[in-house]
Structure 1
Amino acid sequence: PNYDVVRCDRSSARGGGVALFFRSGVRFTVLPSLGNTEPLWCKVHVDKFVIVIGAVQRAPGSSAQVLFDIHDYILKHNLRNYKLILMGDFNLPDIDWSTLAVGSRDKQVCNALVDIAISFDLDQVVHQYTRDNSILDLVFLSHSITLSGFECSVVRGLSDHSAVFVTLNIRVLHANPEVVSFLDFSRADDVSILDLLSFYFDEFVALSNDCDVDMLLSKFCTLVSDCISKFVPVKI
């Protein structure tokens, strides 16, 4: 309850699959799927900007093509122009994320993931073990997001993987709604307006004998303004 769920289940094998949960009221758009791979992509509308979130579950032993497809997807849909979050279980423990150095296992796949991080200016922010002595569950943030500040913690999860919590320091401006008011001439007190104009008519005629056009216009504008303020209601 109170959340909307977007899922991409794995149909070809046991396990796997990804899902994104959005608090009710948060506007989001599900982007087209990759088709032959599992990542799930959504655009989330936060205040006046958009964050693109990609959820990934890379199966152990899968080829580098999965990551090549993610790289090409980001390019094809111009996602590098948005604030980007890419996260999930990548099953690649042989990367030192403090130096971006890769080990001997799955070297091509590891290099493909490092290339995504470098190409799209992403910072990998998980630096604690998420399963045994490995960092398998990763969260990549656009560098512009990390500059704004974030917190990352790893806690015991419900499965054999720990849960990763990342809190972003994104300031959302809740602007007060603009109140617009206007004069409702359809509900004006026409009778009172005519009475007031009639009352000042003789005075206005007398002034016309002694005053120039500018003074008469000023007097008339003052009279009209007085009628509007007294006899034309304001609607909000």
Structure 2
Amino acid sequence: MRRRIGRKRKDRPARRGGGVALYVREQLECIELCLGMDEERVESLWVRMKGQANMGDTVVGVCYRPPDQEEEVNEAFYRQVEVASQSQALVLMGDLNHPDICWKGNTARHAQSRRFPKSTDETFLTQVVEEPTRRGVLLDLVLTNKEGLVGDVKAVLGLAEMELILPTAALMVLCCVLVASKVLITHQCFGCC
């Protein structure tokens, strides 16, 4: 039996290539969220997935942060994360281009990167990717505010940048971060896959 999948996407404004997309089974209730007045500058997409059975809703965000992103755009993204983190179940994933962050100690060499671990601490997010995802560094991140929501995260080299499997309750989400010719593919499978 084939399952229909709907797509949400946000292309880069005024630039060719890139953007973010989120693929969701059509039988699932999915609402795109607006998390701030300056969100058009941030390459992110946020949705609220309606919980199945006795599960609460889950907020899912996908993001691409260019390496040369301006500081005010970074701050707009941190404000989005702060709003999204009010959800009881949040998963944020994407290519955030902070290769100098050491997640074991929440430290970073560059000043611009130091703000991101501070933001994740303030919003009680845990980064769950443990192994490098590209060229020996950890660029592609998966963060959550709910223990047990994210399961095994595995890097799949050659096929895509990273594959994510999140086993819990009854939904499936497929997320892509499209950057030039790279594709980060992740999926969340909650019991119905």
TM-score range, shorter chain: 0.7 to 0.9
Residues 1:137 and 2:144 are matched in the alignment: no
The residue type equivalent to 2:49 in the other structure is V
Residues 1:120 and 2:126 are matched in the alignment: no
Q: 1:96 to 1:4 in 2, by over 3 A?
A: same
Shift of 1:149: 6.0
Residues 1:154 and 2:160 are matched in the alignment: no
Write 1 or 2 for the structure with the bigger share of helix.
1
Whole-angstrom distance in 2 between the partners of 1:132 and 1:118: 26
Residues 1:84 and 2:87 are matched in the alignment: no
Q: Would you say the 8 A contact 2:59–2:87 is kept in 1?
A: no
Query: Aligned match of 1:168 in 156, 166, 169?
Result: 166
Aligned-residue Cα RMSD (Å) equals: 2.1
Shift of 1:30: 0.3
TM-score normalized by structure 1? 0.63
Which structure has the larger Rg over C-alpha atoms? 1
Tell me the matched-pair count.
Answer: 163
SS at match of 2:40: coil
Aligned to 1:187: none
Query: Aligned match of 1:62 in 69, 76, 92?
Result: 69
Aligned to 2:78: 71
TM-score normalized by structure 2? 0.75
Q: Which stretches in structure 2 are left out of the alignment for 5+ residues?
A: 171-193
Q: Which stretches in structure 1 are left out of the alignment for 5+ residues?
A: 173-236
Q: Would you say the 8 A contact 1:16–1:59 is kept in 2?
A: no
SS at match of 1:56: strand
Query: Aligned match of 1:53 in 49, 60, 65?
Result: 60
The residue type equivalent to 1:153 in the other structure is K
Query: Aligned match of 2:20 in 18, 21, 32?
Result: 18
| Deviations 1:11-49 (CA, angstroms, capped at 9, x unpaired) | 333332000010221111001261222211100112231
Q: 1:19 to 1:78 in 2, by over 3 A?
A: closer
Runs of 4+ in 1 over 6 A off after TM superposition: none
Residues 1:101 and 2:107 are matched in the alignment: yes
| Deviations 1:115-146 (CA, angstroms, capped at 9, x unpaired) | 2210111111112222212111111111x2x3
Whole-angstrom distance in 2 between the partners of 1:59 and 1:120: 22
Shift of 1:5: 0.4
Whole-angstrom distance in 2 between the partners of 1:78 and 1:23: 22
The residue type equivalent to 1:15 in the other structure is G
